[in-house]
Amino acid sequence: MNNNEISKNIQAEVEEWNSYLTYLVVFLSVISFFYIFIVTYRVFIPNEIANYLLGIQVQDLYYISAIAGIGSLLAIFFKRLSDHPYFGRKKSTIIFAISMYALASINIFIYNLILNTIVLTITNMLTISNTSIIVSEEVPAKYRGRAAGIISASGMSSSLLASFLATQFFIWPEHSWQLFFILITIPGMIIVLIMGFKIKETRRFLLTKDNNTKGKQVNFREVFERKNIRPLILISLIIFLTYWIFMTIKSYFKPYMLELGFSNLDIGIMGMLSYPGSMIGYFSSGYLSDHFGRKGTICFGVSVYFIGTLFFLFSNQFWIMLIGALIVNLTWGIFYTTCELLSTEFFNTKIRATAQGVIFFFGSTSIVLGGLIMAPISKIFGWQNLFFWIGTFSIICVIITVLLLPETKGRVLEEIIITEINGGI
């Protein structure tokens, strides 16, 4: 796409907020709600999955994650559907959401280790979000960060539900944790399908589709053109490192706390009291990134996150650990939302979804490598050393990498591409 074509696409930029954008944000918030519920709920059931479902040690779940992480790598091929003239942003978003909810629901009822891993791998293949792409293409530049923050914060409210249900495991029958899960995900599939009928295709995508008279799908080589290489590599590395951060405290704080002698009730209460921090973090990420820039917000977020890890890891007192967990969740919401938004802002509409797919392909290699590396580390050196050293290394690398990118706050997408990509980044 040359500069003249890009300039024509600027007409798709909406200057002010309208009622459809409100509905769009609500719809994307609903998708985020059920997606984050699935992710958060699984944080509370690693011991149940390992001990009762698969009959393995909880540390061995890292190996399962590594194998299933191959699905995240293969997701790049499904991500391309979002750039296909027939599917576009709308259809692919609905298909991905419903498929992910359904497969995740099936997965927690499969007791066979091999079959469970296969289904989890397929689930990861379809765990694809177009939220940041749709926000970047539909929402005016001055509201882009805030819209992304509202969507993520609204979705994160489901973590409170997941935390509450975790406190009920010892009250209800032994396998109630499985039933709780589908009582949430099945209505989620129905709601997303119904709301999806009123969603429109993004204007930028329609304009690109109309200009593309042959209706060809994006060629991977277009993504790897020389002008795209630097942002592609840098953002891929940022996503890789944020995934590693997520695979520490955020994913495995439950077995760590159980080893310290805390009960399931304590852990559930910890989640209920600390996850509101994520909601605040996701919401404030939009304000921070729109006012202080993407780079400053990410650097601030990961730096304060590090302080939270010190509180959480180097005390056995519940309330001190709670302060740490609150800081960890708050700052994760701030920097991850901004990182994800950043992954859409350097690529033109024709290749945006495919480019993001490539970014998350390389980012997802961290799941495979992380699983293979973190499993033996957690067994030999313990959860505390794993969380601290892997997390600290990743934080330092995120700060260094993000400083190498140009600032994008408040800039129309096409202007970013003209000046930073076509003009030489």
Q: pLDDT tens, 164-199?
A: 998 888 788 878 899 999 999 999 999 999 999 999
Most confident region among 169-178, 233-242, 416-425 by mean pLDDT: 233-242
Task: Sketch out the chain's domains with CATH numbers.
Answer: 17-422 (1.20.1250.20)
**Phi then psi for 260, rounded to 5 degrees?**
-80, -5
pLDDT at 30 (0 to 100) = 95
Interacting residues of 135 by C-beta distance below 8 A, sequence separation 6+: 28, 144, 147, 148, 151, 341, 344
Q: Which of 193, 140, 156, 162 is nearest to 45 (CA)?
A: 162
Higher pLDDT, 349 or 101: 101
Residue pair 266/161 in contact (Cβ under 8 Å)? The answer is: no
Question: Three-state SS for 56?
Answer: coil
Judge whether residue 245 has pLDDT over 50.
yes
**86-95 b/e (C-beta count within 10 Å ≥ 16 → b):** ebbbbbbbbb
Judge whether residue 300 has pLDDT over 90.
yes
Residues 212, 261: Cα–Cα separation, whole Å: 61
To the question of pTM greater than 0.85 for the whole model, the response is no
Instruction: Concatenate the DSSP letters of all residues of 153-195 into one string.
Output: HHHHTHHHHHHHHHTTTTTS-TTHHHHHHHHHHHHHHHHHHHH
pLDDT at 425 (0 to 100) = 45
Residues 93, 79: Cα–Cα separation, whole Å: 10
Measured CA distances, 25 to 104, 136, 153, 334 (Å) = 24, 12, 11, 18
DSSP secondary structure letter of residue 246: I
Interacting residues of 304 by C-beta distance below 8 A, sequence separation 6+: 327, 330, 331
Residues 341, 326: Cα–Cα separation, whole Å: 23
pLDDT at 115 (0 to 100) = 93
Judge whether residue 214 has pLDDT over 70.
no
**What is the separation, in whole angstroms, between the first and last Cα of the chain?**
16
Residues 360, 205: Cα–Cα separation, whole Å: 21
Residues 29, 21: Cα–Cα separation, whole Å: 12
Interacting residues of 420 by C-beta distance below 8 A, sequence separation 6+: 231, 346, 406, 408
pLDDT confidence band for 34 (50 / 70 / 90): very high
Give the CA-trace dihedral at 138, 141, 143, 146, to 10 degrees.
Answer: 90
**291-330 b/e (C-beta count within 10 Å ≥ 16 → b):** eebbbbbbbbbbebbbebbebbbeeeeeeebbbbbbbbbb
Judge whether residue 419 has pLDDT over 80.
no
Q: Which two tokens stand for residue 316?
A: 């056995």
Residue pair 305/331 in contact (Cβ under 8 Å)? The answer is: yes
pLDDT at 209 (0 to 100) = 61
* Percent of the chain topping pLDDT 70: 92
Question: Three-state SS for 128?
Answer: coil
What is the widest separation between alpha-carbon atoms in the chain? 64
Residues 311, 138: Cα–Cα separation, whole Å: 40
Most confident region among 82-86, 282-286, 375-379, 396-400 by mean pLDDT: 396-400
